[in-house]
Structure 1
């Protein structure tokens, strides 16, 4: 009897090992070239757009917006939302309902909404690259990002042909969105006739060098137009591990003063949009360092939720929601004066 139990025990562990082996193999990241690519979106179809002026989601309609009276357009590219390690896809289909819910209820609601009173919003869905693409550039990440950008580029072409009608443009983006926005600015604006329609590019979340563009300057005053602003937010006195490689010598905007000030007091902070959809003003001090932006511990009722936080990457925009809103309005006013 004991002998039989021993045999069955061995069989059990052998079977368990086999299951684990199969499971591990199923989680091996597939080569980009062997993975089926999601269907190419047709941006002539409204369903491929998260936001169009004719179809704002409910989260944006909570703001009192007179869309028809807005004098400029805002083309917004959302950040990386596909971050689950178990998701082995290099790119997400634009029909993915879970991804699209994140686009509307996180990216649009807490980032694009900062421009809702500034211009007509255009937000295309795109076959976004997985977060791992940035750490696996040679093994598929570069191809995945190229595929994602091809969608952004095609969406912008349709936007220009079908919707723009010569109106001034603000480019807004964050993180992976900024990766694509940089390429978009080079392909359509930098040294191109369309440059004259560029009000400003708000492109935080990726380190950018001062000479990234030939004719699109880093803006250092709050009323300047035709250039770009950018920043990457971290806790005060914290340097990320990849600081020297990625961030050192990158340009940094003070998103409260919008000029060359290296710091701003908490009293000058206009307000950040928290996850409860409430705006909290006078909550942040900022300090411009070489390549990064430091902030103080947010001064608001729920600061316990950010205690110990070192990177504020996900909050690059909503931490300065009202500051961005007011500055974008100011730059639009300055654009039309010029």
Structure 2
């Protein structure tokens, strides 16, 4: 157990680089244009999807308490999982078994699972950009992120044509996934006819302007629909590097109360999904700051492993797993009640 927890927090330390956006020191980082593109996914094939309603992994089935006919869909885009400095690829092919294992056993298990009771879940594999793309934009990062988004766009178009059948949609994402989700919302929903089918967009892990969208607004009520919520989680009293550049003045939501309250107590917290697959209730109090979310040190048996950690980016979703689970269900119910 200790070994597994240490491995988890090693992953936490690595993913923190996404927020600090420090330089990635590689000896011979190739130009994006010098590498062949990984094969374009064919989303008509089930194998191009990490999750379809017809092939839920066991961890999703275990967390699905609502097995009734779900009237909504959830389109989830996973975060940056390719973080190895020695990996010089700008984009990962969807045939990469190591990457795909991370998608299922990290992103789907601890993040996408929070939405499994709100709707039928769709998770496309995509040619994800390497973590270094954010700190090497001009050398190839922008092109790598554009390539990754091209997959998400095609996957969503395929989803709409093949699977949607007029069902309302939740867009959910984290980190790099949110980078792509913002573009997806602008391309398909923002001030467009499809916005009427948007239940909510959950967009943690990237700084988002309060005026990012033309007609998709920041939601400030727990049952509100048609808008977005977002947050970036840090330990109380900590301001991240480049705070003024990447976070200050941006939108931020309280993922416990889902309203305009700037703080909430431990008693309000519904549950934190930890790596041992257990939910710990009443573990956090949070404080909404200017553009970021502060949280107390989680109050649970393994809190020692978070001592000294200041950036909780990797836990943006699973720290509030039960809160998100309940809220997503509530927004779906509200959406249909207002349509009756």
TM-score by length of 1: 0.91
Q: What does residue 312 of structure 1 align with?
A: 312
What displacement does 1:107 show? 0.1
The answer to whether the 8 A contact 1:220-1:258 is kept is yes
Within 5 Å, which residues of 2 pair with 1:291-330?
Answer: 291-330=291-330
Aligned length: 313
Which string of whole-angstrom CA distances, capped at 9 and with x for unpartnered residues, describes residues 57-87 of structure 1?
A: 1221223455560110000000000001000
Q: What is the distance in 2 between the residues matched to 1:66 and 1:284? A: 26
Structure 1 range deviating more: 324-333 or 59-68: 59-68
State how far apart, in whole Å, the 1-side matches of 2:59 and 2:243 are.
36
Secondary structure of 1:205's aligned partner: coil
Could you tell me how far apart the structure 2 residues matched to 1:34 and 1:219 are?
A: 43
Q: Is the 8 A contact 1:92 1:130 kept in 2?
A: yes
| 1:135-174 alignment, distance < 5 Å | 135-174=135-174
Alpha carbons 2:282, 2:299 under 8 Å: kept: yes
Contact 2:229 2:253 in 1 (8 A): yes
Whether contact under 8 Å (1:27, 1:86) holds in the other structure is no
Structure 2 residues without counterparts, runs of 5 or longer:
1-25
Tell me what 2:58 maps to. 58
1:303 Cα deviation (Å)? 0.2
Q: Tell me which of the two structures has the higher relative contact order, counting C-alpha pairs closer than 8 angstroms and 6 or more residues apart.
A: 2
Over the residues paired in the alignment, what is the CA RMSD in angstroms? Answer: 1.0
Q: Which runs of 5+ in 1 are unaligned?
A: 1-25
Residue equivalent to 2:14: none
In the other structure, the counterpart of 2:210 is 210
Measure, in 1, the Cα distance between the counterparts of 2:83 and 2:109: 19
Distance 2:331 2:197 in 1: 13
Mapped contact 1:53–1:67 kept (Cα < 8 A) = no
Q: d(CA) in 1 for partners of 2:287 and 2:104?
A: 31
Q: Distance in 1 between matches of 2:118 and 2:96?
A: 29
3-state SS in 2 of match to 1:62? helix
* Helix, strand or coil at the partner of 1:133: helix
Q: TM-score, normalised by structure 2?
A: 0.91
TM-superposition CA deviations, 1:233-286 (whole Å, max 9, x none): 000000001100000001110000100000000111000100000000000000
Larger radius of gyration: 1
